[in-house]
């Protein structure tokens, strides 16, 4: 029998005189009452500044909701959305990373993925989603370029390889470039197959990506 994932835990940092903190606290309180949160911990940064320093909290309100870190004011509707996405696995993480990229916080995305590489596959989901904006796609590729040069991206070869069969040429092109960034020889068969793709950009990108891989 399939068991539903447990509700996420929430951590909220508040500060004296913060006018937005009560809004977030009330919203989280309602979610707690409805059983949409597992735990709710509230920390006063004036009393426990060491907790804030530990997590890099620079201003209140600051909320950690499951795997997500939310800065500033978020109303109950937004908090409810992220509580739901927190139990949605890679799809929920992809939505969160899309949110950060759309807010111009590419550095925050790269930092999170360095700390928690298990979430890397969410980037592949964004590349394969036709609803992902051009700016977000560029952000994803820039992050992959930042993370290239090690074994970090090797786990993405399989998921990216699947994207080389996508119906949209732009997705196949991005997948080829990303496969080159993995630096893994296991990406070679996918890229060699793309040399016969019907799209010029896909073929050209596949050839460039192959040149980025170590020799056999």
Please, which residues have CB within 8 angstroms of residue 106's CB and are 6 or more apart in sequence?
A: 100, 139, 142, 143
Token pair of 115 as six digits: 């700390």
CATH of domain 90-212: 1.25.10.10
Q: What are the tens digits of pLDDT across the range 76-133?
A: 999 999 999 999 999 999 999 999 999 899 999 999 999 899 999 999 999 999 999 9
CATH of domain 10-85: 3.40.30.10
| Distance separating alpha carbons of residues 176 and 192, to the nearest angstrom | 10
Domains of the chain: which residue ranges? 10-85, 90-212
Confirm whether 10-85 and 90-212 share one CATH topology: no
**What residues of the chain score a pLDDT lower than 50?**
1-2
């Amino acid at each position: 029998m399939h068991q539903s994932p447990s509700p996420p835990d929430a951590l909220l940092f508040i500060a004296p005189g913060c006018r937005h903190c009560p809004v977030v606290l009330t919203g989280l309180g309602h979610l707690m009452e409805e059983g949409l949160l597992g735990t709710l911990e509230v920390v006063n940064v004036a009393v426990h500044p060491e907790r804030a320093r530990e997590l890099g909290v620079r201003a209140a309100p600051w909320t950690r909701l499951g795997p997500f870190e939310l800065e500033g004011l978020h109303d109950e509707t937004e908090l409810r959305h992220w509580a739901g996405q927190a139990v949605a696995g890679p799809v929920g993480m992809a939505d969160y990373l899309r949110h950060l990229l759309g807010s111009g916080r590419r550095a925050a995305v790269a930092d999170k993925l360095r700390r928690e590489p298990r979430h890397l596959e969410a980037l592949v989901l964004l590349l394969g989603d036709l609803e992902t904006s051009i700016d977000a796609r560029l952000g994803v590729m820039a992050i992959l370029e930042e993370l290239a040069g090690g074994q970090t991206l090797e786990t993405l070869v399989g998921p990216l390889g699947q994207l080389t069969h996508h119906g949209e040429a732009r997705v196949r092109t991005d997948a080829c470039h990303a496969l080159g960034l993995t630096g893994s020889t296991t990406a070679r068969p996918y890229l060699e197959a793309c040399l016969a793709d019907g799209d010029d950009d896909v073929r050209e990108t596949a050839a460039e990506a192959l040149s980025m891989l170590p020799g056999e």
